[in-house]
Amino acid sequence: MKENSFCHPRLGLAISKKHLKRAVDRNRVKRQVREQFRRGSSDMSGVDIIVMTRNGIAKQNSQQLRSSLVRLWEKIA
């Protein structure tokens, strides 16, 4: 997270092939991150956020990913 000169938050994604081999899995994660960002971005202003994957992301189901993203947005806001 880094401050920006805009009055709205911006999102960057770095979803690695190293952690998610199949394109369908990478796209699923990107879709969920974008959707959770849209829902939680009203509480944030003027920040740049870059989401990067780590080992073990492939083992998380959709609900686990959503809940961890919600916690992150709350932390940032």
**Distance separating alpha carbons of residues 51 and 1, to the nearest angstrom:** 9
Give me the mean pLDDT over the 61-68 stretch: 91
- Domain architecture of the chain: domains with CATH: 2-76 (3.30.230.10)
Q: In this structure, are residues 44 and 73 in contact, taking their beta carbons and an 8 Å threshold?
A: yes
pTM score, whole prediction: 0.82
pLDDT tens readout for residues 21-64: 999 999 999 999 999 998 877 777 788 889 999 888 889 998 99
Q: In this structure, are residues 75 and 47 in contact, taking their beta carbons and an 8 Å threshold?
A: no
- Environment class of residue 36 by beta-carbon count within 10 Å: exposed (0-12), middle (13-18) or buried (19+)? buried
pLDDT tens readout for residues 6-22: 878 889 999 999 999 99
**pLDDT for res 1:** 66
- Please determine, for residue 72, whether its predicted confidence score (pLDDT) is greater than 90: no
